[in-house]
Amino acid sequence: MDGREAREPMEPLARAGLLLCLLVAAGCGSGTGGGDAAEPPTHPRYDLQITYWPEGKDGKSRTATLTCEPNGGTHANADKACAVLDAHPEALHPVPGDTACTQIYGGDQVAIVEGNGVHAIFNRSNGCEIERWDALAPVLELPG
């Protein structure tokens, strides 16, 4: 091949073939289609520490760890606790400050849940907090 042949433009068919090869290569490993990509988890993964004061913060505390997906830790009923977290993830968020809550006192219990992006404090000081507590009671109420 002399210098003049190397400078001549590609034939249209060769250009189309090169474009096809580039498009195929760009689509490889995209994780879409094909069906062999990992399925997303059905619920968030939790790795939590729960501290529970059944008689208020002046009393003795109980502590457990809880992992979900796979379910485990020192929590007495990890499977049920993980199912409850899956059903009520919103209960891990605080009650918005502008929410009108009934002024019903539900008891001295306090719990703190901490771990991978979670820092939630629970009490039974009013109707909104009681609702949050009741949604996650199987997670929070650790046996003695």
Tokens of 83: 């199912």
Q: What is the pLDDT of residue 45?
A: 79
Angle at 9 between CA 3 and CA 10, to 5 degrees: 110
pLDDT value at residue 3: 54
Grouping H, G, I as helix, E, B as strand and the rest as coil, residue 133 is: helix
User: What pLDDT sits at residue 9?
Assistant: 54
Q: Where are the domains of the chain?
A: 46-140
Q: What was the pLDDT predicted at 30?
A: 45
Pairing mode of beta strands 107-115, 46-53: antiparallel
Per-residue pLDDT tens digits of the chain, which is 144 residues long:
555 555 555 565 555 554 444 444 444 444 444 444 556 555 447 999 999 999 999 999 999 999 999 999 999 999 999 999 999 999 999 999 999 999 999 999 999 999 989 999 999 999 999 999 999 999 999 998
The residues with which 50 forms a beta bridge, in sequence order, are 64, 113
Structure token pair of residue 5: 């042949």
